[in-house]
């Protein structure tokens, strides 16, 4: 066979394998076989100099761009009207019903009873793809809805996004690029650069001129809307089916419901479910299913009247770090604890957060006075993820203590932690050891609390 033909064949084959691997999550071949096919393609391209722009070898990243180009969306990308309470949802449903009834009074073709499709509201970066003649010709950020930035090279590193689709007409397809939480963990284990949260990590990856960095973050993307098309869909459901059929990734969760009660029931389910999935979501989008009703209801200049975003309470909060206190543990480990501007965390007031050690402070670039991100982690003291702005003014460096804040001993730098070597008379160490000695697993002295031990030590000089 002609080598060029073989290259075309291999590209087609790899695209099909990618589709099964990344989109369907049903690999057709082992990783080893995949690498073999990929290597053959690369070798043939080298031999012949015939390298197609859409070749998988060209889209794994590596290109460094000078700057971002502006991209004008064909259809303005609207945002979502938001609701945060069930009452606001009810008001929205009432308004939709009113508009529908009004239309039905004045027209012979009646709109059906309202049905809604519920989908996750993804917490990443919105991307708008343009396909023409079946090829991915552009990818851009949402920007202000009219003009975004072109990020085609970055988006081509997302392997679940097909370069080629069956449909040949001009399409704009909107979705959300995300960094899976498992990828965030993996990345932070393998790299010096620590990513604070999955949303910033995804946005930062796509707005990075070095596409090698974009590729390293293993982003994924889910699609949910077709702003520009000449296709005649009868419903949201049909549109989602179409996207799936074209090889684009749509999230498996989308649920058809009929009234407020069903919506609320689903919201309760999702509020729990979203803690178990591998991507960040901050709510649910509820859309009227019927396309004709969508058209009748239309849009304001900001958002469609036929859809609404219900936002859950945030899992991550920002607050200010007021100071750092150093605690001394049983074995003399000196660990930092952050004192925060108190913040309401789903009912509880939080004023302390964990910082593991001094290296953690340096790595997260945390300073006194810094605005920081904290994350709720199942009822334990929240964790500091990082600072909001590394260049925030008026902040002060957190000093590494050289003397024990309790006994004044010169501290020793261990492998990871700072240590107070005074195990004989450093009070917090004695207290912690005494507590350990009397605890259930040791002497098991019932009713002897930490407070009582402290008092005994203080008043009777017990040691
Ligand atoms: Zn000490």
- Give me the CATH number covering residue 320: 2.40.50.140
Q: How far is the CA of 411 from the centre of ligand 1 (A)?
A: 8
Q: How far is the CA of 355 from the centre of ligand 1 (A)?
A: 19
In a domain, 431, yes or no: no
d(CA 429, CA 91): 59
Question: What is the span of the domain harbouring residue 167?
Answer: 82-311
308 — pLDDT class (breaks 50, 70, 90): very high
Question: Given 279, 311, 343, which residue is the final one in a domain?
Answer: 311
Mean pLDDT for the chain overall = 89
- When pLDDT is averaged across residues 260-287 and rounded to a whole number, the result is 92
Q: How far is the CA of 412 from the centre of ligand 1 (A)?
A: 11
Amino acid 90: pLDDT: 96
Question: Are residues 18 and 95 part of one domain?
Answer: no
Question: Given 14, 43, 58, which residue is the final one in a domain?
Answer: 58
CATH of the domain at 159: 3.30.470.30
In a domain, 463, yes or no: no
Amino acid 272: pLDDT: 85
Tokens 């702003």 belong to residue: 227
In a domain, 439, yes or no: no
Structure-block tokens of residue 165: 């689709």
Question: Are residues 301 and 362 part of one domain?
Answer: no
Question: Are residues 366 and 346 part of one domain?
Answer: yes
In a domain, 351, yes or no: yes
Number of domains in the chain: 3
In a domain, 186, yes or no: yes
Question: Are residues 288 and 154 part of one domain?
Answer: yes
**Which of 327-357 are b and which e, b meaning 16 or more Cβ less than 10 Å from the residue's Cβ?**
ebeeebbbbbebebeebebeeeebeebbbeb
Catalytically active residues are 121
Question: Are residues 366 and 294 part of one domain?
Answer: no
**pLDDT digits 0-9 by tens, 53-65:** 778 877 655 456 6
Question: Are residues 282 and 213 part of one domain?
Answer: yes
Q: How far is the CA of 75 from the centre of ligand 1 (A)?
A: 66
Q: How far is the CA of 131 from the centre of ligand 1 (A)?
A: 66
In a domain, 461, yes or no: no
Question: Are residues 305 and 225 part of one domain?
Answer: yes
CATH of the domain at 51: 1.10.287.610
Question: Which among 202, 206, 207, 219 is positioned nearest to 124, based on CA atoms?
Answer: 202
More reliable by pLDDT, 33 or 101:
101
Question: Are residues 300 and 201 part of one domain?
Answer: yes
- When pLDDT is averaged across residues 37-64 and rounded to a whole number, the result is 80
Question: Are residues 341 and 273 part of one domain?
Answer: no
Question: Are residues 356 and 256 part of one domain?
Answer: no
d(CA 50, CA 3): 9
In the predicted structure, residue 463 carries a pLDDT above the cut 90: no
Amino acid 183: pLDDT: 94
Contact 274, 312 (CB under 8 A): yes
Burial class (CB in 10 A: 0-12, 13-18, 19+), 389: exposed
Question: Are residues 14 and 50 part of one domain?
Answer: yes
**pLDDT digits 0-9 by tens, 163-186:** 999 999 999 999 999 999 999 999
- When pLDDT is averaged across residues 431-452 and rounded to a whole number, the result is 89
Structure-block tokens of residue 462: 């017990």
If you average pLDDT over each of 12-26, 378-392, 414-428, which comes out highest?
414-428
In a domain, 446, yes or no: no
Question: Given 311, 345, 366, which residue is the final one in a domain?
Answer: 311
Question: Are residues 361 and 303 part of one domain?
Answer: no
Q: How far is the CA of 209 from the centre of ligand 1 (A)?
A: 49
387 — pLDDT class (breaks 50, 70, 90): confident
In a domain, 139, yes or no: yes
Contact 155, 139 (CB under 8 A): yes
Q: How far is the CA of 325 from the centre of ligand 1 (A)?
A: 14
377 — pLDDT class (breaks 50, 70, 90): low
């Amino acid at each position: 066979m002609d080598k060029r033909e073989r290259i075309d064949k291999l590209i087609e084959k790899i695209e099909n394998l990618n589709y099964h691997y990344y989109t369907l999550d049903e690999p057709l071949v082992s990783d080893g076989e995949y690498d073999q096919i990929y290597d053959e393609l690369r070798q043939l391209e080298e031999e012949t100099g015939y390298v197609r722009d859409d070749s998988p070898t060209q889209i794994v990243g590596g290109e460094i761009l000078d700057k971002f180009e502006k991209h004008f969306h064909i259809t303005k990308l609207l945002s979502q009207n938001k609701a945060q309470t069930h009452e606001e949802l009810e008001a929205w449903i009432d308004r939709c019903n009113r508009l529908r009834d009004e239309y039905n009074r004045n027209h012979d073709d009646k709109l059906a009873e309202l049905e809604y499709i519920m989908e996750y509201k993804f917490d990443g970066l919105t991307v708008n793809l343009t396909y023409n003649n079946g090829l991915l010709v552009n990818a851009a950020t949402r920007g202000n809805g009219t003009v975004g930035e072109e990020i085609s090279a970055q988006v081509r590193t997302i392997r679940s996004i097909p370069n080629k689709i069956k449909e040949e007409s001009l399409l704009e397809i909107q979705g959300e690029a995300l960094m899976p939480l498992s990828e965030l963990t993996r990345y932070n284990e393998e790299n010096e650069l620590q990513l604070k949260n999955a949303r910033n990590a995804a946005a930062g990856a796509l707005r990075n001129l070095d596409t090698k960095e974009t590729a390293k973050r293993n982003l994924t993307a889910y699609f949910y809307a077709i702003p520009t098309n000449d296709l005649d869909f009868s419903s949201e459901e049909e549109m989602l089916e179409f996207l799936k059929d074209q090889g684009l990734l749509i999230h498996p969760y989308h649920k058809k419901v009929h009234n407020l009660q069903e919506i609320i029931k689903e919201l309760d389910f999702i509020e729990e479910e979203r803690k178990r999935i591998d991507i960040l979501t901050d709510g649910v989008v509820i859309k009227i299913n019927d396309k004709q009703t969508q058209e009748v209801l239309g849009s304001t200049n900001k958002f469609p009247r036929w859809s609404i975003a219900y936002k859950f309470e945030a899992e991550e909060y920002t607050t200010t770090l007021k100071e750092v206190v150093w605690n001394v543990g049983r074995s003399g480990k000196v660990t930092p604890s952050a004192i925060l501007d108190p913040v309401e965390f789903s009912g509880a007031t939080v004023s302390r957060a964990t910082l593991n050690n001094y290296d953690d402070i340096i790595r997260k670039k945390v300073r006194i006075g810094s605005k920081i991100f904290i994350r709720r982690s199942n009822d334990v003291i929240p964790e500091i993820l990082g600072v909001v702005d590394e260049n925030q003014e008026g902040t002060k460096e957190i000093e590494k203590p050289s003397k024990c804040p309790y006994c004044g001993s010169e501290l020793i730098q261990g492998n990871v932690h700072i240590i107070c070597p005074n195990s004989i008379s450093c009070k917090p160490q004695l207290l912690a050891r005494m507590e350990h000695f009397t605890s259930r697993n040791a002497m098991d002295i019932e009713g002897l609390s930490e407070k009582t031990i402290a008092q005994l030590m203080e008043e009777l000089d017990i040691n």
